[in-house]
């Protein structure tokens, strides 16, 4: 997290692992193992321009609406991670 968003020294809670295989726009197969964590943090977040192209704070209802309207804007890994996270927080 330090490299991506400038956050360190927080305790992470692991929520699970999952595997995603997807095909990108260039028909390249991408296979990824993902880990899902959460943490509580109330400090400065500094995204690295080399690691992250855009950051937005959005309401969960707004995110769900956008995912329905523009599903191609989201990777399968993000969609699966969000589903699993919602199961843990339900």
Mean pLDDT of all residues in 3-17? 92
Q: Encode pLDDT of 18-46 as tens digits.
A: 999 988 889 999 999 999 999 999 999 99
What predicted TM-score, i.e. pTM, was given to this entire model? 0.73
Q: How far is CA 27 from CA 17, 46, 63, 73, in A?
A: 25, 33, 27, 16
Q: Which residues pair with 53 in a beta bridge?
A: none
Rounded CA-CA distance 24/5 in Å is 25
Name every residue whose Cβ is closer than 8 Å to that of residue 24 and which is 6 or more positions away in sequence.
30
CATH number at residue 81: 3.90.79.10
pLDDT-derived band at 63, boundaries 50, 70, 90: very high
Tally of structural domains, the chain: 1
Q: Which domain holds residue 33?
A: 2-89
Average pLDDT, the chain: 90
């Amino acid at each position: 997290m330090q490299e991506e968003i400038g956050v360190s020294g927080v305790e992470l809670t692991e929520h699970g692992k999952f595997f995603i295989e997807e095909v990108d726009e260039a028909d390249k197969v991408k296979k990824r193992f993902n880990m899902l964590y959460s943490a509580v943090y109330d400090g400065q977040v500094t995204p690295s321009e080399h690691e992250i192209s855009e950051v937005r704070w959005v309401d969960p209802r707004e995110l769900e609406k956008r995912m329905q309207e523009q599903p191609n804007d989201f990777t399968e890994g993000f969609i699966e991670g969000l589903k699993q996270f919602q199961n843990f927080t339900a």
